[in-house]
Amino acid sequence: MATYLTPALAWRRLRDGNERFISGKSLHPNQDASRRSSLVEGQNPFAVIFGCSDSRLAAEIIFDLGLGDAFVVRTAGQVIDDAVLGSLEYSISELHVPLIVILGHDSCGAVSATKNAVEAGAMPTGFIRDLVERITPSVLTSLRKDDKADVNDMVVEHVKQTATRLADTSRVISDAIEDGRTAVVGLSYKLGEGRAELVAGIGQI
């Protein structure tokens, strides 16, 4: 069963799937009727993927996965809120998923909007403001490190900060990491190449 994978083996499985996708050799596993039927009574995903909602970042496709393989949570700019934390904790405490993936990508619109807001000193209106406020610390950190930082630098910083915040904020997640039951990897996806590049890791991977 997938849930018996260690964090390191789960990460290797994702890497292998991404390599197949990059090379145009995707297997499209676990996408047939028998797989669908086998999942009616329950699920055993081997990873939870918390990524940006961008339409170009379909997790099951870029990691060559199928039904039941990944528990997926998505928000614009992979912004954490209470519902996200609850979903991630559910995946760890109830589904016993051995790997949490934070998935950002280059040319992210939410991070670009935050960069523009910081530079202009003017916040957007509506609920987009909430997204921008949550991404702002990552943008400011990038600019403090390098005042010429571009959007893609800020995406990497945001992925790193998100991974750290999960481990710091959630007792369920931090306990699972400490016990070796799960690990967190932060990835930055390159839209043109299709590669999900490791930029952060917490736990035994």
List the structure tokens of 123: 């916040």
pLDDT(42) > 80: yes
Domains of the chain: 2-202 (3.40.1050.10)
pLDDT(57) > 60: yes
Q: What DSSP string describes 71-139?
A: EEEEEGGG---HHHHHHHHHHHHTT--SEEEEEEETT-HHHHHHHHHHHHT---STTHHHHHHHHHHHH
Minimum mean pLDDT among 15-19, 46-50, 94-98, 149-153: which range? 149-153
Residue 87 confidence (pLDDT)? 97
**Geometric angle at alpha carbon 156, from 187 and 205, rounded to 5°:** 35
Residue 93 confidence (pLDDT)? 95
